Structure 1
Amino acid sequence: MVDETVKTQRARASRHRGIVAGLIGQDIGASLTPAMHMVEAREQGLAYVYRLIDLAGQDVSHERLSQVFRGAVDAGFDGLNITHPFKQAIMPLLDAVDPVAEAIGAVNTVRIADGQATGFNTDALGFTAGIQREIGDIAGQSVVQLGSGGAGAATATAALTLGVEHLTIFDVDPARSHALADRLASRFDGRASASSDLPAEIAAASGLIHATPTGMAGHPGLPLDPALLRPDLWVAEIVYFPLETELLRVAREKGCRTAHGGTMAVFQAVGAFEIFTGIAPDADRMVRHFTQLTQGRAA
């Protein structure tokens, strides 16, 4: 993901002067990302500070987001993670965007060097790891996805790359779901579409991907009628705080196989850490640390 020469240079610089990173989003007070980054940095012998920039309760305009972002750049941040609802809105503010993130249409990681900000996407990597570890092979299946925002663009790309036969996308904003489906269909041989008939599509599907903020600590609730769930349907969640959302709780009661959002959270952090520092983290150690952080929570 990061050029080897750049990685070596950044690793040397990181060990010399340390790293300042942050997370921009809304309702992110429960995020475990700072702890994951700083503990791994300590294990790597790095001085590392990770700050939350929570714009909770604000109606954030393009100008306000730009102000916050430029403030972080001017303050000397080395990197930023971007989360809901800014993964697409951040892109016009960047100096460059990695081809993978450009194709996905969303950025969750920004590397800042010499005043220049470059966007990347590690969400697809994280979601892929979660599916492979907790669900298994999904190639050839029909899958329904709820949500077509920045995270949804990444999970949809990951699902189609894993070989899903057809992905049907739903969103409260039909124009947005159609736009994402059209973009994906052009890249993946027509294997994506948008629909408004959720009951019929779920009845014919093998899996459900939930990629909206519903279920987060600041957005409690269920994203669909639980009567649509059935035992032979797997359910993959992107929300990880709380680790067990209402959707996952109900799905487990129905007998569904489930994948919580924790694995995606860890592996997107693995990718972001390397982008920020040029140093490959110990992924297994980060998984163990995440497990420790979430012990005692519903899982």
Structure 2
Amino acid sequence: MSAVPAARAAQPSVLAGLIGSGIQLSRTPAMHEQEGKAQGLGYVYRLIDLDALKLDNSALEELLTAAQRMGFTGLNITFPSKQAIIPYLDELSSEAQGIGAVNTVVLKNGKRVGHNTDCLGFAEGFRRGLVDAPRQRVVQMGAGGAGSAVAHALLLEGVRQLTLFDVNPQSARTLVDNLNAHFPGQPARVGDDLAVAVGEADGIVNTTPMGMAKLPGTPVPKALLRPELWVAEIVYFPLETQLLKDARALGCRTLDGSTMAVFQAVKAFELFTGLEADAERMTAHFHSMNG
């Protein structure tokens, strides 16, 4: 009888979670838990939904403290907390520092260390899904936490000019200043006329939550799209947002949010466990889920 508890005790364990708003449809917990199971880990991943708990970003410090006290290995952070979490962290990785946003927090040795795996996640998906896509001029919708990571990824992938639009002009200006400091010669700018910018662009990326199940709609009117554009999304529930539906109807090349979702999770898994994740296995599991 005593052999069973002993075997369980010897099994490495991970307790992780996701903090964000409206995250009940997230596939991240299942991806992490399935990959953990495949690697022989006792892996538990919990949703900490600010909406369901009737909380907002003012609760982030309290949630971090609670997670540390309960022995969490780490936390993923999503909308709307990727920038708001930073003041409550002890350290930032160089990527998170440069991007100015955090989507993964490792809790270890009493410290809270912020990382950003969104940039790597989007870049990997872009390379795989939009091979040889023209990238002279790109329009990006959104300049929040995810937008910061995607903008860095786009410039790392060779976009020559990036035009940013955001409902908060100051957010767009702050991100543009950051990008121009990091990528001299690849100018970023704040957009002022969406129709003109899209008309000159090779591609469009949506990094806003517009198009999510809880925020239906599209950030770019269908009338502005044309077949020559490529269109990329980071929203993945639903996988086919209104923007992608409109773009596909015109024959545009498209990239849905699945690859960024998978590859940011691959890197986060590695940060939480110290083990190499199987990206193909995690991709297959992502697509096996309904929704």
Q: 2:41 aligns with which of 41, 46, 65?
A: 46
How much does 1:69 deviate? Answer: 2.0
Secondary structure at 1:23 match in 2: strand
- TM-score (structure 1 length as normaliser): 0.91
Q: Which runs of 5+ in 2 are unaligned?
A: 1-8
Deviations 1:98-148 (CA, angstroms, capped at 9, x unpaired)? 011100110000111122110000001110111111111346520000000
Cα distance between partner residues in 1 of 2:55 and 2:17: 20
Are positions 1:197 and 2:193 aligned together? yes
How much does 1:17 deviate? Answer: 3.6
Cα distance between partner residues in 1 of 2:171 and 2:182: 17
Structure 1 contact 139–165 (Cα < 8 Å) conserved:
no
Residue 24 (structure 1) aligns with: 19
How much does 1:61 deviate? Answer: 4.2
Q: 2:276 aligns with which of 263, 267, 280?
A: 280
Q: Which runs of 5+ in 1 are unaligned?
A: 1-13
Q: 1:83 aligns with which of 61, 78, 81?
A: 78
Bigger relative contact order, structure 1 or 2, given CA contacts below 8 A and separation 6+? 1
How much does 1:293 deviate? Answer: 1.3
Kindly report which structure 2 residues correspond to 1:149-160, keeping only aligned pairs within 5 A, or say none: 149-160=144-155
Cα distance between partner residues in 2 of 1:152 and 1:15: 41
Residue 89 (structure 2) aligns with: 94
Residue 202 (structure 2) aligns with: 206
Cα distance between partner residues in 2 of 1:73 and 1:87: 18
Residue 165 (structure 1) aligns with: 160
Deviations 1:228-272 (CA, angstroms, capped at 9, x unpaired)? 111000000000011111111111011111000011000000000
Cα distance between partner residues in 1 of 2:69 and 2:247: 45
Residue 262 (structure 2) aligns with: 266
How much does 1:209 deviate? Answer: 0.6
Cα distance between partner residues in 2 of 1:287 and 1:15: 29
Cα distance between partner residues in 2 of 1:222 and 1:279: 38
Residue 223 (structure 1) aligns with: 219
Secondary structure at 2:162 match in 1: strand
Are positions 1:127 and 2:122 aligned together? yes
How much does 1:202 deviate? Answer: 0.4
Q: 2:103 aligns with which of 95, 101, 108?
A: 108
How much does 1:198 deviate? Answer: 0.6
Cα distance between partner residues in 2 of 1:55 and 1:28: 9
How much does 1:288 deviate? Answer: 1.0
- TM-score (structure 2 length as normaliser): 0.93
More deviation in 229-238 or 219-228?
219-228
Give the count of matched residue pairs: 281
